[in-house]
Structures are given as C-alpha cells and as structure tokens.
Structure 1
C-alpha cells in the first residue's frame, strides 16, 4: 500500500495533524504506517480497487474526553474523519472509509458496559461493545436478561443499531429497542437525547422521546455526530422457549409461506423476527458447493434435490420460535402448525428432531439471543469466499416475495452466481437479504459481482423496492434512487449536514450525504 493523504493536504500539514492526534490519545493509538497499520482498515470483501478506500491514518480514542480532543484536531485542520465502531460491518465495507485519504475514527477501545438495569431491563453501552461482550457480561453477573444479537457475535451492539440492523428475538428491531444516546457534535457539543436532556434524569433509558422533537433517529445511518453512549432495552428471560422449523419443497411455495406468515406476524402469534431462508443459505453453513456440483452456472435440479435429501432441508426453510409459559406456547403452536402444514409438502421440525445440525443450532441460538459465528460458514460455499449484501425492503405479500426473488435469481443466474437469500419479516416489512458471494482473489468474479450489484439496485428501485443499508461503494447510487420530488428528502439531509457539520469533517459521504465542500466534486 502507498501512503495517501486527505484531499488538499500537503505532507507538512498532515504531519501536523498526526502530531496533534498523538498528543490527544497517545502515540500508540495513532496508526499511519501504510504497510503495517492501515491494512487492518481495508474492506475484506471489496469488489473495487483497495486504493479507492485506503485511509491516510486511524485514531483510537479511549473515552469521550479523547473523542473531543480528536474532533478539535480535525476541526482545526479540516481533516475528514470516518467513524467506525467495532469495524465488523462486513458485506457493507467493514472498517474502510468512504474515500481514500480519510482518517478512520476507530471507537473500538470505548468498550465499557456502563450499566445493566435488571429491574427495568436495559443496558448502557459504548461503541466498542460487541454482542459477545454484552452476552458474557450478563452471564458473569448472573443476569436474567437476554440480548438480541445480529448473526455475527463480533458485531457491535451500538454500531448495528445505528445501521438499522435487526436480530432474531422479539426484540429484533434494534432501533426500536434503543433508548437514549450521548452524542458529540462536530463543534464539540455533547448532547444527551430524549429524557437524558433532563439533569439527574431518572428515565433517560426508559422513555424514548423526551420533550420536543425526537433526535435519536438523526444520528442513525448519518454523519451528523459521533454517538458515544447508547441505552438498549433487553428482553427478560421468558418462562419457556420453543424454536421450530418448517421446510417447503418448491420455489413457488415462497408465495404461500409469505401469505400465511403475514397475519401471524401482524397478530403477534409469531413474536420474533421470522425468517424464510433459501436452500443455499441453509446448505452453505454446512457443506460446500463442490460437494454437489463442480460445473459453472446455477446448481442443476439433480444437485438441489440431493442436497435437500442429504440435509433434510427444503427450497425454503422457515424459522420461528415460541416464547412464554407452556400452555400459551401449546395453544399458539396449534395455530401456527396447522396453517403452515396446510401448504402441500410441508414438513415440521422441533429441537429434538435436529439437534447438532449446524443450520438448526445457530438459528436456535439466535432466537434466544446467544451470539455465535456459524453464519460466516456461508463464505465456505466457494473457495476464498467473500460477500456483499443486497437488501431491498418489501411488503409482506406472496406476490412481492416472488417478484423480488425472481428479479434477483434471474440476474444471478445470468451473471454466474448462486442465489443465496433469506426473507426476514419484522413488524410490517420484509427484509430480503441476498448474500452475493464471490471469490475474493478472482478479479473477474469481483468485477461481475460489482456489476450485478449495480444492476440489482437499478432494477429493484424501478420496481419500487428500496435498499435499507448498503456497501460503501453503492451509497451514492442508492441515495440517488430516493429522488421523489426532486430529491427533497436528501436536500433536507444536506441542510442538516451543513448546519451541524459546516466543515464536513464527520464521515463525508455516509449514505450519500456529502458536505457542501465536496458536493460539486462528487456530482462531477
């Protein structure tokens, strides 16, 4: 890697930035060597040249006082910062900055669990706290509270929430379960949101909205401030937990499954995030593609059938769970079982039927908030696997599910990739997560993946489906699809950026929100 500088910086000016950052946090926590330090801030799953996202340096503060000092340095010199939490946002850019030359503001040293309130069911965490950190802490103190985790245990509790991430228990909408933030603005102002703005507040992490406009959402998927503390609601351990799985034999069963699911979710008979996983998603955590097919192009029907028989999975595999006292679970189970078993060819499994099977065990753990790393086995589907995730939002209807599935599957087939996807249903929406798996050491595979992703963005937006989250390479393209009324929403985003961060030092380009100093350059 060659050394890069922020745009417009001469070496002497950047040397002064580094010197002041070392005074702020200590020299051992400022990283600038392009050979030994900065590769840790590369995107592990990039489809474009690494030089496009190479940082000029990274700085890791240990507390809010050091964050304030770092922001003061950045403001003094106009140095662009790119904020990360745990740096594990893989498939979306990982720790890499939006543009080459940015200084990574690495928050992973701030990893204190500041409070666990057993009575009211919440925790207060800093940006570097991972799911496994919080889980282990709760176990250590003998808590009866469950966390809700994303699939990878090493992900950050706060960073995932700020990216609108989801989990798998009834507390799976992470932003909904967030309550109260501490935020540092670009000018060094520290803000407590909601009820936390009240001195000596007794309800800072109990009531989300406070008095006046609710600000918390402004600091999610944005670059308006640096969040340094967050409250997160935790689920009291239920009286009972009963995970289950249904398998369905045909591709077209996705329509019936989704139609059956919607009323069950809306009426809260299924309280947790409900997942319908495709054949390859369930297979890839257990086997490799080459175990069943070594040719090019989509898996042939014969390979798919053998895989289904060997692994006892379907073309679609629905995962859910029941929570609460046994009589309540029994009554609810009768309704759910009868509805899904009404789909021809459906099979049902409970824990005793699938103990020890990788796909089942990690879903069972996620449903009770136990962090694990099994889902990363997906990368073993092909040699040197990597992935970027395409995630359009859909209404919870059978026709919409089939339309999205066909839109992505057909383009995958044409581009030479396998469709590996799942549909996760929340309150009124359906996240369609397509895991675009490619060979990270194969330039042709990376180029085809990048091209396919761009095509999917265009096709989905034309069909009325928008992305909720994306890789750093596609932020501008996806932001441009949210263009109703001459980009009125994004123009408001830009006004807020100019008001809160007039120098544009905080994460320029995050979600396509650029400061005024860079807008002409980007549009050109």
Structure 2
C-alpha cells in the first residue's frame, strides 16, 4: 500500500511504520482532514528563527559541553538541538519543539533541545544529567495535548524529554484481567489496533481524537465517553522516575513478584498498602511516568442516539433532566451536550460558508444555517450511548425518552435516522471504544486555526450550568469570538469545555483570545467555578484561584515540589507549580499581571 499524502504533498504517517501514525483504516480520512486544513492556511508552515533558546542562566559554551556529554551517553542521534525553523504542523504531525497553537510569540515556550530515551534507565540518566548541570527538562509523552500547550515548555530553553519516539511499547495485555501496561508513546490508535489484531473482546476508552498518548492523557486527567471514561480513575499502577533520578513503583508494583517479576496484582488493585500516592503524579511535575497500567472494558452491546432541543432557554432544563438519569446510572456513559453551532463546525466547512462578518456569529445566522442541516433549527444537541443487552438498552432508552420528552420540542434520533456522513456516526465509534479523527473538522472554522480550551467544572444543576454558560457567552461576545461549547455531564458535575478557535497568524485574534481566557478564569472563579485543566500560560492564574485558606493547596504543592525536586529541574511551572529556584522571580503570570504576552513575552527579564 502506498503512503497516503495530502493535496500539498505532505506524507501522512502510517501506524504500521511510525508509532505516532494513523492506522490504515483511517488513512484516507487523515488525507482529507489535512487537505481541508491546508486549504485554510494563509501563511507558510515554517518561519526563520530569530534566536535559538538556551536554558536560563546557561551560556552557549556551557550548554554545548553539557549537550555533548548527553550525546556521549545516549548516542548523537538521540539528542537534537532545536535550531531549525519552527514548523507548526498539525495534529498528526505535531512539533516537539514549541507550542504548535502558539497564543504568545511562536518562539516563546521553545526548547533548547530534545532527547529520546529508549527505556527507564535512560530517563534516569537524563534526570541525573539535568541535576548536575541545573538544566530544566520537560517530559512529553506524544505532545498532543494541543489546546493546552502541546509540546511547549513553560521555561524557554528547557530540554524536552520526548518519551514517545523510543518508548512506545504495549508491555502487556492481560485478557483475563481486562487490563494492559503501556509506555508513554502508545497512542489510542496503537492500543486499539493491537487489541483488534489479537481478537480480544475488550474495549479501550478514548477521547474525541485517537492520536494522543494513553498514558499522557490519563496523567493530565483527560476523559473519554464509555463507562470507563475517567481515565485516571481507571489506571492501575505506575512506574516513574523522581526528579532526583530515583525509581518508584506505585500500588502493588511496590511489592516484587516471585523471583523478581512484576507483582501479579499490579494491574488489579490500585492502592496497595499505606498512603495512596498516585494522585500526586497527575497534573504535577513530581515525576516522569515511564509505565502505567489501565483497566479495559469488556466488550458489550451499545446503542448511540441524539436528542435535539428547540430553544436556547432549554439549557437549564436539559441539565436538570440529566442529573437524576446520571445519578441513577441510567445514562450509560458521559454524554455530550453541544450547542447547535457545533453541528456547523463539525461539517468541516469554514465559518465563512455561513457568515463573513466580524465578531460573534449572530444567532439568526446560526438558526438559518442549522435549518438546512439534519438537526434542523434547534439550539442544543445531546449525544448519548447506552450499553448492555438489547432488552436493557430498550428499557433505558424508554426512560430517557420520557425524561427528555417533557422538554417541549425535543426530538429523539438514532444513527440510522441520520445521513452516513453525520457526526453521530463518529460519536458512536468513540463511545464504543473506536478511536477516530473526525473531531479535527471543526479546526477548519477559521484560517490557520488554533484553539484554546476553557474547562471549568460546575455542579450538575441547571442554575449552576446556566450561570457559567452566561459568563462564557457574555465574555465571548465582548471579545468577539463564537461560543463553541461542549458540556460533558456526569452525575454530580459537568466539564464545560469552551473552545476558543482563533487564527494563530493574526496577532489581534491571539491577544483577544488571551484576554478572553484570562477574564473567563477570573469571572468564573468569583462564582466558585474553577478549571480542571488549562493551557500552560494560564496555569499560574488558575492555580491562584484555588485560594481557600490563603492558598493552602498551592503552598502544599510547592512543599512537595521542593522536597522531591530540590534543584527545580523537572518541568518548572507545569500546572502552576514552581520550585524554589524559580518561584517568586517573575515567572508566574497571575491575575493582576497586565503583560501583553505577544509584546512582552512570557518569561521575566533576567
């Protein structure tokens, strides 16, 4: 089979030959997705570098000596200086050199070099080297948390530890235990294809896009859409390198198995004996996870469906209807509630198809465009999936239809009620553990598209959902962006994911997107709604909002950081956690910081 290429001639990586590639079943879709993105590009893919980043406080000659030392240990081919043009690429061909969706200057958040360890021992070697030379290192699994900073490093000039390129093995799949053990470079695509190859009756749980790291998504507390959708809650056991270079295994892995083998219950029981410490290694910079276990879902019957709602004001009533269904576990998965503008976006057509004006797209324009789509002139679209045998599914759907049927104008549809190219078919795959690429299509919304996620948590109560939605809508109007919300609603909380899509080649749009993010963080926090996950450049501001008892949580996190990482070498600033070497020296971007990130940069003037 020939290697697929896009209309611009770019080779699309194939999973059979590249760990980060696309499976053959999605090759044509990847080509089409890349071609659509290319058609919206108005700037060159790469730019001439202004400077080459160096670690803070390290001169060029000192850095070269340190890098040569590392090359001698790892092999010259496994250490790359970041001195080439910066290429933003796209989801399947992302850089490990900078934030591909740069909200600040493209050269901010750039690394000085990237290293590619082959195993845990080499990760330890790199960490010892970093401590010796006081050079910060920034580990990535595959760098595909695009929208939250990607492979960018918060301290410019850090050395990226790219764990994916050479540490991408599925170490074990235990069919009887319905579990697996993977390295950081294993993507959802790779894990799914291996399970299919072995013909095992198991499902993985994947997010909307399947190219990311299974391990990386979990430690950043990402979510999916089957009953196993809380990825970190369904992990079991990890191996990690601490910032001092010491090796640690958590859970039952801390007990050796017979004759030194892995403990046979490592992927069976999470907590083991004593304090349960796994949580401190999620969304932190306390260690580099090199192996991680996960529970897999036994294969089962499933039925996806879509319910539309006519009126904007139905939002509060929809959330109220969801709560009892979710708490009683009648809803089979973590469903999505989307505004109808998302139905336009996932067609893959640019915004200009329907509206060429500036500012937020008027509601009447959205209404007119939606009336020509299968969903019709509606305001909200709910995507859900039920699981089990057919009798169970039928009884659940009856209850669900009755509950939502109380909202006037609601309409229930199954996948076979909708055209083959409708988004529901992609959701049905994701909700049955099949990783796909369809979610890329809304990136065609604007030229040179990039995006930021604003991701607050609210209780599953109509008044709370309405309050956060009102803040987000008001501020999007103020800053001139379309509101593209997806609300993932569980029994007691909802992840409100607001997607700011902007043109990364337009400095005004980048400034406005930054202003919108900062104001949403502040205004939501005033009401008690905080983000569960955020972009690198807003991490300090978000961490600052968790301020109860004079910021006790933040101070506790800093105490752990200083104890585990005395030289502050591991991912300084990640998730708003700074070691004592950097803390309080101008790196933090806090609530009252008035800096213009594009003009002033994101680092202190050292």
- TM-score between both structures, scaled by the size of structure 2: 0.85
Alignment partner, residue 337 of structure 1: 401
Q: CA deviation at 1:269?
A: 0.4
Please show how residues 408-487 of structure 1 align to structure 2 within 5 Å. 408-487=472-551
Q: Distance in 2 between matches of 1:352 and 1:413?
A: 37
* C-alpha contact (below 8 Å) 2:117/2:163 kept by paired residues: yes
Alignment partner, residue 231 of structure 1: 293
Match of 2:583 among 504, 513, 519: 519
Q: Render the CA deviation track for 1:42-67: whole Å, top value 9, x for unaligned.
A: 21111111232111111111111211
C-alpha spacing 1:112/1:452, structure 2 compared with 1 (3 Å):
same
Alignment partner, residue 159 of structure 1: 216
Q: Distance in 1 between matches of 2:187 and 2:73?
A: 25
Q: CA deviation at 1:444?
A: 0.8
Alignment partner, residue 73 of structure 2: 24
Q: Render the CA deviation track for 1:238-267: whole Å, top value 9, x for unaligned.
A: 1x1100110011111111110000011111
* C-alpha contact (below 8 Å) 1:285/1:359 kept by paired residues: yes
Q: CA deviation at 1:426?
A: 2.5
Q: Render the CA deviation track for 1:341-383: whole Å, top value 9, x for unaligned.
A: 1110101110211241332121111110111111111111122
C-alpha spacing 1:516/1:245, structure 2 compared with 1 (3 Å):
same
Please show how residues 492-507 of structure 1 align to structure 2 within 5 Å. 492-507=556-571
Say how many residue pairs are matched.
523
Alignment partner, residue 187 of structure 2: 130
Q: Where is the helix percentage greater, Structure 1 or Structure 2?
A: 1
User: Helix, strand or coil: the match of 1:50?
Assistant: coil
* C-alpha contact (below 8 Å) 1:293/1:299 kept by paired residues: yes
Q: Render the CA deviation track for 1:360-416: whole Å, top value 9, x for unaligned.
A: 121111110111111111111122221000000000011111111111111111211
Q: Distance in 2 between matches of 1:356 and 1:23?
A: 55
Please show how residues 41-80 of structure 1 align to structure 2 within 5 Å. 41-80=97-136
Alignment partner, residue 147 of structure 2: 91
Q: CA deviation at 1:121?
A: 0.6
Q: CA deviation at 1:295?
A: 1.5
Alignment partner, residue 9 of structure 1: 58
The answer to whether structure 1 residue 214 and structure 2 residue 276 are counterparts is yes
User: Helix, strand or coil: the match of 2:584?
Assistant: helix
* C-alpha contact (below 8 Å) 2:286/2:565 kept by paired residues: yes
User: Helix, strand or coil: the match of 1:511?
Assistant: helix
Alignment partner, residue 316 of structure 2: 255
Q: CA deviation at 1:294?
A: 1.3
* C-alpha contact (below 8 Å) 1:6/1:102 kept by paired residues: yes
Q: Distance in 1 between matches of 2:70 and 2:190?
A: 28
C-alpha spacing 1:448/1:37, structure 2 compared with 1 (3 Å):
closer
Alignment partner, residue 369 of structure 2: 307
Gaps of 5+ in 1: none
* C-alpha contact (below 8 Å) 1:24/1:70 kept by paired residues: no
Please show how residues 225-304 of structure 1 align to structure 2 within 5 Å. 225-238=287-300, 240-286=301-347, 287-304=349-366
Q: Render the CA deviation track for 1:441-487: whole Å, top value 9, x for unaligned.
A: 11111111111110111001111000011111101111111111111
* C-alpha contact (below 8 Å) 2:240/2:248 kept by paired residues: yes
The answer to whether structure 1 residue 104 and structure 2 residue 160 are counterparts is yes
Alignment partner, residue 38 of structure 2: none
Q: Distance in 2 between matches of 1:349 and 1:341?
A: 12
Q: CA deviation at 1:293?
A: 1.4
Q: Distance in 2 between matches of 1:37 and 1:186?
A: 29
Q: Render the CA deviation track for 1:274-318: whole Å, top value 9, x for unaligned.
A: 110111222201033222111122323332222222223331111
* C-alpha contact (below 8 Å) 2:486/2:498 kept by paired residues: yes
Gaps of 5+ in 2: 1-48, 89-94, 258-262, 589-603
* C-alpha contact (below 8 Å) 1:146/1:236 kept by paired residues: yes
The answer to whether structure 1 residue 405 and structure 2 residue 469 are counterparts is yes
The answer to whether structure 1 residue 144 and structure 2 residue 179 are counterparts is no
Q: CA deviation at 1:190?
A: 1.0
- TM-score between both structures, scaled by the size of structure 1: 0.98
Q: CA deviation at 1:38?
A: 8.4
Greater CA drift, 8-17 or 227-236: 8-17
Q: Distance in 2 between matches of 1:301 and 1:395?
A: 27
Q: Distance in 2 between matches of 1:511 and 1:209?
A: 24
CA RMSD of aligned residues (A): 1.3
User: Helix, strand or coil: the match of 1:343?
Assistant: coil
* C-alpha contact (below 8 Å) 1:252/1:402 kept by paired residues: no
* C-alpha contact (below 8 Å) 1:385/1:438 kept by paired residues: yes
Q: Distance in 1 between matches of 2:190 and 2:286?
A: 27
* C-alpha contact (below 8 Å) 2:452/2:500 kept by paired residues: yes
Alignment partner, residue 434 of structure 2: 370
Greater CA drift, 114-123 or 297-306: 297-306
User: Helix, strand or coil: the match of 2:371?
Assistant: helix
* C-alpha contact (below 8 Å) 1:262/1:397 kept by paired residues: yes
Match of 2:385 among 306, 321, 326: 321
Q: Distance in 1 between matches of 2:444 and 2:86?
A: 28
Q: CA deviation at 1:427?
A: 4.1
Q: Distance in 1 between matches of 2:419 and 2:272?
A: 46
* C-alpha contact (below 8 Å) 1:32/1:56 kept by paired residues: yes
* C-alpha contact (below 8 Å) 1:276/1:317 kept by paired residues: yes
